[in-house]
Chain A
Amino acid sequence: MDFQPTGEQRALRAGVRDLLAGRYGREALRASVEAGVAVDRRLWRELGEAGFFALRLPESDGGVGLGLPEAALVFEEAGRALLPGPLVATHLAAGVVPGAASGTTVVTAFDLGGPLVAHLGEADAVLGASAPPEGEPVRSVDPLTPLHRVAGRHPDPGPDPAPYRDEGALLTAALQVGSALRTVELAVDHARRREQFGQPIGAFQAVKHLCAGMLVRAEVARTAVYAAAVTGDVAEIAAAKLLADEAAVRGARDCLQVYGGMGFTWEADVHLHLKRAWVRAEQWRTAAQAEEVLAADLLGAVG
């Protein structure tokens, strides 16, 4: 058994991190927040060219021919960079919706379990639908996840995302883990630099313990995501989503706390991590759903 990433997997992750640092660094993130544009078509195509969406398509179909473990590593990096857009839905649509694999088509999904749909206005297609439905724009909590309300009061208006639910949940969990790990870094950097009472606040135990708790949650979630990516097991995927949602949401909140008053400003990136983490926690599989999947699995194990 060797659970550690292989040399190729490490190289892939490093490559994606470099690509995103160059192409979607903090300036670009801030520029897209200011412009209110989540999906930059050119960047989308570049991601497509780099194999982001076609990662798991067989090489015979023009894909990269890699598996879920590699996808999890790549999505972790996207989460770390706070890369916006319907990344998971477009990735899942590769090989199903023309142009998704190459990044020329933007595909979203009814993954929010209600009448709200993310990125509808920016998408060319909806996973499982013959054509994108009409929708009313809704002001979104996350500046980079625009929302539309579809078909008024209907509770479940769109195509059923069930066939994609597990993989969608897993990749979303990987995004959450990347964000959680990033907020640990942000908090630790800040705690080392910011001084109060004549010393870095990171020397205070109350702050240290917040940071340590963040890391523990992020590391446990990360292993859960990797394991689920390797086994593809439905219950492990549910656990991965559950733990990763919690690591991302609580991590961002704790990071905000470490930042103090600065954490409550628009300037600090922390709120962007928190808001995106809230959105992702509602996507594909909520905590309540994940816990029910796990409960059923637990009972199944005892027969």
Chain B
Amino acid sequence: MDLTYTDEEQEFRARLREWLAKELPALPPRPSPDDWPARRAYDAGWQRRLFEAGYAGLHWPLDAGGRGATPTQHLIFLEETERAGAPYVGANFVGLLHAGPTIAAEGTAAQRARWLPPVLRGDEMWCQGFSEPDAGSDLASLRTRAVRDGDDYVVTGAKIWTSHAEVADWCELLVRTDPGAPKHRGITWLAMPMDAPGITVRPLRTLAGSAEFAEVFLDEVRVPAANRVGAENDGWRVTMVTLSFERGTAFVGEVVACRRTLALLARTAKENGRWDDPVLRRTLGRLHGELGALWRLTQWNVSESERSGGVPGTGGSVFKLAYSHARQELYDAAAQVLGAGSLALDEEWVLDRLSSLSYTIAAGTSQIQRNIVAERVLGLPKGR
């Protein structure tokens, strides 16, 4: 058990830190969360800079245009960018963390050549069209139909909670291609261009007041069959590949951010006198311990995946469960530190508090994660 970084890793960190110190002061402030077109441009611009500096797709394989970095280097990248206050992956999230890795693992050479480079350069954004109004936790019961017609699939149905749909160029779309088959067997994974005729995007307002996700209505949308990733009706397996990437490292940087927020809160509490309240002080102390442990758990999971050849393990669900709840506790503590100040929406962390409410829902609810841990990690029987 060793927590020291190799010389090579330290050198990587030092170079990155130097680059961030040079790059970040020149960056304009992040646009408001409501202005999606401006945010898209901003996120694309940051991705472009990463690309030019050789940091794009760090953890992607070399033959997919990535840098083939080790999981530890990727961890260092996420840690340092977050620590420096660099922009978060933002609207590039699905392309870089889900769709890209899935296409790299499951796509044909032509598909990789078509879709991967624009993701790395920040030229194209993706969204995730998995959930439907009647298929959330029970994702495999999705009903959006795709019927083969010549060289195309004709897609009809509706998706919901599609983050960044308004500004995305592509959608990783799950459709039902065999309604007669058992529900997990008749699904297909398609890359759908978001400018195809028949697509209507209707933004949904979140409880934070912004419109970061949307409903997507699909009315006889033609998607070329060549855009199918994996075999027809084999989409559930491809989806599992996608989800393992989603849970793998998606929250790593955020633990670092939470620790920064907590340190800030401690200072604020000291200044406004609430630090003298032993109950609150001990709550902050406990959170310090929990978030520190979650950072160590991240290092543990990363070094485990490094040993197993880069495959994200089941540690992802354990981590997500613990992290999503700790994050919510952090912002509850913040509200205690700020008292009535926590009601003023002009503070950035108040928006973060609101957004933290989604962490136990998005990317699989806590209940679903507990099922996964119980069945896949502990081997308990499936319910009837």
Contact = CB atoms under 8 A, between A and B. Distances in A.
B3 A1 contact: yes
Interface stretch (A114-122, A130-138, A217-225, A274-282): A217-225
Contact of B292 (A9, A213, A235): A235
A301 B296 CA distance: 18
B286 A192 contact: no
B2 A191 contact: no
Interface in A109-150: none
B289 A238 contact: yes
A191 B379 CA distance: 10
A294 interface: yes
A6 B383 CA distance: 38
A215 B6 contact: no
Contacts of B264: 302
B380 A242 contact: no
B289 A290 contact: yes
Given A3-B303, A298-B263, A216 B321 contact: yes
A2 B2 contact: yes
B318 A208 contact: no
Contacts of B281: 291-292, 295
Interface in B97-124: none
Interface in A194-249: 199-200, 202-205, 207-209, 211-213, 215-216, 219-221, 223-224, 226-227, 229-231, 235-236, 238-240, 242-243
Going nearest first, the 5 A-B pairs with the smallest beta carbon separation are A239-B289, A295-B285, A294-B285, A208-B374, A291-B282
B255 interface: no
Nearest to A70: B1
Interface in B252-301: 262-264, 266-267, 270, 275, 281-286, 288-290, 292-294, 296-297, 299-300
A203 B382 contact: yes
B304 interface: yes
A299 B9 CA distance: 30
Given A2-B306, A208-B375, 17 more contacts: A200-B381, A203-B381, A204-B383, A209-B374, A211-B380, A215-B318, A215-B378, A220-B293, A220-B294, A220-B318, A230-B3, A243-B290, A290-B289, A291-B289, A292-B281, A292-B282, A302-B266
B262 A298 contact: yes
Contacts of B302: 1, 3
B329 to A, nearest CB: 13
Contacts of B290: 220, 239, 243
Given A4-B304, A220-B322, A227 B296 contact: yes
B72 A1 contact: yes
B370 interface: yes
A293 interface: yes
Contacts of B322: 216, 220
A3 B299 contact: yes
B19 interface: no
6 contacts: A5-B1, A220-B290, A224-B289, A230-B3, A242-B286, A295-B285
Contacts of B285: 290-298
A246 to B, nearest CB: 10
A29 interface: no
A208 B289 contact: no
A49 B374 CA distance: 40
A3 B1 contact: yes
A93 interface: no
Interface in B67-82: 72
A302 B262 CA distance: 10
Nearest to B378: A188
Interface residues of B, number: 55
B24 interface: no
A205 B383 contact: yes
B147 interface: no
Contact of A3 (B6, B300, B381): B300
A302 B267 contact: yes
B367 interface: yes
B289 A1 contact: no
A49 to B, nearest CB: 26
A184 B374 CA distance: 11
Contact of B380 (A208, A297, A301): A208
A239 B282 contact: no
A286 B56 CA distance: 46
A243 B289 contact: yes
Contact of A69 (B1, B296, B377, B383): B1
A1 B95 CA distance: 28
Nearest to B76: A1
B2 A1 contact: yes
B32 interface: no
A288 interface: yes
Contacts of B72: 1
Contacts of B275: 299
A290 B293 CA distance: 14
Contacts of A298: 262-263, 266, 284-285, 288
Contacts of B378: 184, 188, 211-212, 215
Contacts of B267: 299, 302
Contacts of B233: none
A292 to B, nearest CB: 6
A1 B377 contact: no
B22 interface: no
Contact of B288 (A213, A239, A288): A239
Interface in A1-36: 1-6, 9
B30 interface: no
